[in-house]
């Protein structure tokens, strides 16, 4: 993958704090330590800590995407400065992306489950 300048990815220095706050909040909501999130996302503990607490000069879009996935949100949610992208909409988008990757038989099972919920 490629690296991008932090300011290019996040639209300015202020966003690094927002990015770090989002990562830390989501990590804590999941009950993950820095070590656990690092392990799940294929990053180092120091990289996660740096994202949460500093302005890394060139965060990897690939690593941020893996972190977002492990936290159950989209990359767009993590880096967005637009409040229209909520945590819930990011979770829904991630769910739909996973759904799209399922086989047709798995999709049919999921649709049946949703239909059963609607019947109640």
Give SS3 for 106: helix
pLDDT at 112 over 50: yes
CATH number for the domain spanning 37: value is: 1.10.260.40
Note whether residue 75 is domain-resident. Answer: yes
Note whether residue 84 is domain-resident. Answer: yes
- 22 closest CA partner among 58, 61, 66, 73: 73
Q: What is the mean pLDDT of residues 91-112?
A: 84
Give me Rg for the CA atoms of the chain. Answer: 16
Say which DSSP state 80 is in: -
User: pTM of the prediction?
Assistant: 0.64
Structure confidence at residue 120 as a pLDDT band (50, 70, 90): low
Least confident of 23-27, 28-32, 95-99: 95-99
Note whether residue 1 is domain-resident. Answer: no
pLDDT at 6 over 70: no
Provide the domain count of the chain.
1
Q: Phi/psi zone of residue 102: left (φ > 0), alpha (ψ -120 to 50 degrees), beta?
A: beta
Structure confidence at residue 13 as a pLDDT band (50, 70, 90): very low
Give residue-wise pLDDT tens across range 28-81. Answer: 999 999 999 999 999 999 999 999 988 766 788 899 999 999 999 988 888 887
Note whether residue 52 is domain-resident. Answer: yes
Domain of 79, in residue numbers: 6-119
Q: What is the mean pLDDT of residues 99-105?
A: 87
- 4 closest CA partner among 67, 66, 79: 79
């Amino acid at each position: 993958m490629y690296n991008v300048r932090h300011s290019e990815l996040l639209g300015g220095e202020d966003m690094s704090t927002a990015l770090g706050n989002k990562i830390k909040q989501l990590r804590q909501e999941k009950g993950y330590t820095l070590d656990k999130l690092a392990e799940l996302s294929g990053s180092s503990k120091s990289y996660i800590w740096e994202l949460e607490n500093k302005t890394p000069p060139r965060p990897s879009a690939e690593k941020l995407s893996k972190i977002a996935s492990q936290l159950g949100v989209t990359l767009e949610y993590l880096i967005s400065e637009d409040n229209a992208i909520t945590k819930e909409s990011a979770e829904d988008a991630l769910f739909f992306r996973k759904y799209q990757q399922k086989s047709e038989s798995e999709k049919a099972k999921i649709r049946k489950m949703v239909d059963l919920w609607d019947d109640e």
